[in-house]
Structure 1
Amino acid sequence: MQLAIKDKSVWSSLILIGVLTLSPTAIADDSHFKIAVGGFYSNSDTGMDVTSPLTGKTFELDFETDLELVESEFLPFFEIAYWFNARHGIYFDWQRLHRDATNTNITVPYEFDHPDPDIDETYSIQLGAEITTTFNVDIARIGYGYDFYKDDAWDLIFTAGFHVMWLELGFEGEIGACVDDNCGIIDIAPNTVVFTDVTAPLPDLGLLAHYQFADSWSITGHAQYFYIKIDNIKGELIDLSGGIEYNFEGKFAADLSYKYYKVTVDIEGDHTTTSIHYGFHGPMLTLSYEF
């Protein structure tokens, strides 16, 4: 089962900018490319609003605690960019977090509705059930950067673009369902994924800062934000980082920073709203090269 937001213009932009590729954090006097690779050690926090079959009240299901997904993990990062001149550039970057885990003895029973409002099904996870959870996130960021303030020490860059997020959320195992208000539990075959594949283009605005305080040493900062509502989906993103960069002879650079990232998605159905949040924070190391 799938829920997808399709936007042909977004995909066209993704392909075009992915071919051109570049990074808004570069300091540019002439046209040039910049490529950066790295990773960060993430402490993840993921949850989903569900209902207790015992009390009828809503509570947050914690994926790391209740479903035993790994909380701390190393995440890869890739970025490529092109600046046309000292003021204007385009960029593309990508990061991912893929996790799955099996809980052989659910200690908290819960129920949740299918996020697609056209599918009137409620799923039930009973006490003691064995459930395998899959939660995969891939995030590609594309956009335009404008260096609106530049002097010998400072660069301040405005960015506008899209976060395109591939979200896969699935449950397999001992799952029951209520269909069309018939709340007798109907067994679902094991190894059945309840729902998966939410693809959402998420527009954002941001600000990048670069301050050189000594030869080869700079302080870097990054902030992006979006809020969007498309049909029955409402979402918010906060993306922050700050760190210090060392430049090796003008071509190579290393940046050590701390990153905070959080996405909240609300999917409104006819009778309920499915809320999913995903976030991570941790130290990040990036190595870059300009040519």
Structure 2
Amino acid sequence: MKTRPTSTALLIATLVFSAPLFAQGQSDVHPWLVDDFVLSVGAFLPSKDFKIRVDGEIPGRDIDFGQKADVSDNEASASLVFRWKFGEKWSVSGQYWGTEDDGEAVLAEDVTWRDYVLQAGSNVGAGVSTDIARVFFGREFFTDADHHEFGLGVGVHWLQIEVYLEGEFFLNDQSTGFRREQVSADLPLPNVGGWYWYSFSPRWLLTTHLDWFSASIDQYSGSLWDAGVGINFQAWEYVGFGLSYKYFKIDADVEETNWYGKAEVTHDGPFLSATVNW
């Protein structure tokens, strides 16, 4: 049986345009401004930059893993975002993403790792893996503004990072053989921040946020930036799609038993997501 073109067109039009009609009948603002829960699952496609320093008896030099060891930075990362709004003004939100990158290269110059040296002209392998979690407690202000949401709060970012170099290491110009040297650290950094949302219509929402930190806490000191701007389209009553741009940078001195040095990590790029709200 042949399908009539007119019937097919009507069916497609119904699927595309009927869902947004829910908002017109219930509210003139985007559901995120009134619902208690929002969940986003998607892919973060960041450009990445890693600068690592591992000191020995004397301070070393920063190692740019992209330039020195050709560490790849083109892999996407799964990401999860949630928000729970409790009460009229309070909310808690969070995000997680992780990356794992490695590469191989011939060194153009000597690289120092603790008191060891990887010599120019040698083949080296390198890798960096990160797991990043963000939790944020916020209070909304100006709750009488129907199409706007603005809030301030405090939170914490937790960066777990593992770094390795492998090759022929030299100590005092004597070869110690081919091996892998690895360090790791957990960097918990508190932050202050804020967010602003604007509902253009029941279907379209602009989202922005900014987190910042700069201080010294116990064995960690450094700075953090986490910023984003995006658009969400509410396709159905409880389901939408988002596109945002995210910038994340942490620059921290590390003083741990197996790592005394520095970690500078930058991620920036688009985040594509499917969203659920209720």
Question: What's the TM-score bracket when you normalise by the shorter of the two chains?
Answer: 0.7 to 0.9
1:123-142 map, 5 Å: 123-142=116-135
The farther-off stretch of 250-259 and 234-243 is 250-259
TM-score by length of 2: 0.78
Quote the Cα distance in structure 2 between the aligned partners of 1:83 and 1:231.
Answer: 32
Share of identical aligned residues, percent? 23
| Matching of residue 39 in structure 1 with residue 26 in structure 2 | no
The equivalent of 2:170 in structure 1 is 176
Indicate if the aligned counterparts of 2:187 and 2:220 stay in contact, CA closer than 8 A.
no
Shift of 1:230: 2.6
Amino acid at match of 2:216: K
Quote the Cα distance in structure 1 between the aligned partners of 2:59 and 2:216.
Answer: 26
Quote the Cα distance in structure 1 between the aligned partners of 2:41 and 2:217.
Answer: 33
Amino acid at match of 2:266: G
| Matching of residue 276 in structure 1 with residue 269 in structure 2 | no
The equivalent of 1:210 in structure 2 is 197
Amino acid at match of 2:83: A
More helix by share: 2
Report the secondary structure of 2:156's partner residue.
Answer: strand
The equivalent of 2:142 in structure 1 is 149
Shift of 1:167: 0.6
Q: Deviations over 1:217-269 (max 9, x none)?
A: 12111111112313443121111111222123442222211111111112369
Q: How many residues align?
A: 242
Quote the Cα distance in structure 2 between the aligned partners of 1:250 and 1:207.
Answer: 27
Gaps of 5+ in 1: 1-25, 114-121, 178-183
**Structure 1 146/110 Cα, relative in aligned 2: closer, same or farther at 3 Å?**
same
Indicate if the aligned counterparts of 1:210 and 1:218 stay in contact, CA closer than 8 A.
yes
Q: Deviations over 1:45-97 (max 9, x none)?
A: 2223589xxxx997643211211101332121112332222311222321111
Q: 2:93 aligns with which of 45, 68, 91?
A: 91
The equivalent of 2:26 in structure 1 is none
Quote the Cα distance in structure 2 between the aligned partners of 1:63 and 1:43.
Answer: 13
Q: Deviations over 1:197-234 (max 9, x none)?
A: 20111101111111012341121111111123134431
Amino acid at match of 1:123: Y
**Structure 1 208/189 Cα, relative in aligned 2: closer, same or farther at 3 Å?**
same
Q: 2:52 aligns with which of 48, 53, 59?
A: 48
Amino acid at match of 1:267: V
Amino acid at match of 1:101: G
Amino acid at match of 2:65: F
Quote the Cα distance in structure 2 between the aligned partners of 1:47 and 1:68.
Answer: 12
Indicate if the aligned counterparts of 2:60 and 2:113 stay in contact, CA closer than 8 A.
no
Report the secondary structure of 1:72's partner residue.
Answer: coil
Amino acid at match of 1:109: D
Q: 2:66 aligns with which of 64, 67, 73?
A: 64
Quote the Cα distance in structure 2 between the aligned partners of 1:249 and 1:135.
Answer: 39
RMSD (Å), alpha carbons = 2.6
Report the secondary structure of 1:174's partner residue.
Answer: strand
Indicate if the aligned counterparts of 2:33 and 2:149 stay in contact, CA closer than 8 A.
no
Gaps of 5+ in 2: 1-30
Quote the Cα distance in structure 2 between the aligned partners of 1:242 and 1:86.
Answer: 24
Report the secondary structure of 1:66's partner residue.
Answer: helix
Indicate if the aligned counterparts of 2:61 and 2:112 stay in contact, CA closer than 8 A.
no
Amino acid at match of 1:89: S
Shift of 1:29: 4.0
Quote the Cα distance in structure 2 between the aligned partners of 1:112 and 1:192.
Answer: 11
1:216-231 map, 5 Å: 216-231=203-218
Quote the Cα distance in structure 2 between the aligned partners of 1:188 and 1:35.
Answer: 51
**Structure 1 250/227 Cα, relative in aligned 2: closer, same or farther at 3 Å?**
farther
The equivalent of 1:167 in structure 2 is 161
Indicate if the aligned counterparts of 1:154 and 1:211 stay in contact, CA closer than 8 A.
yes
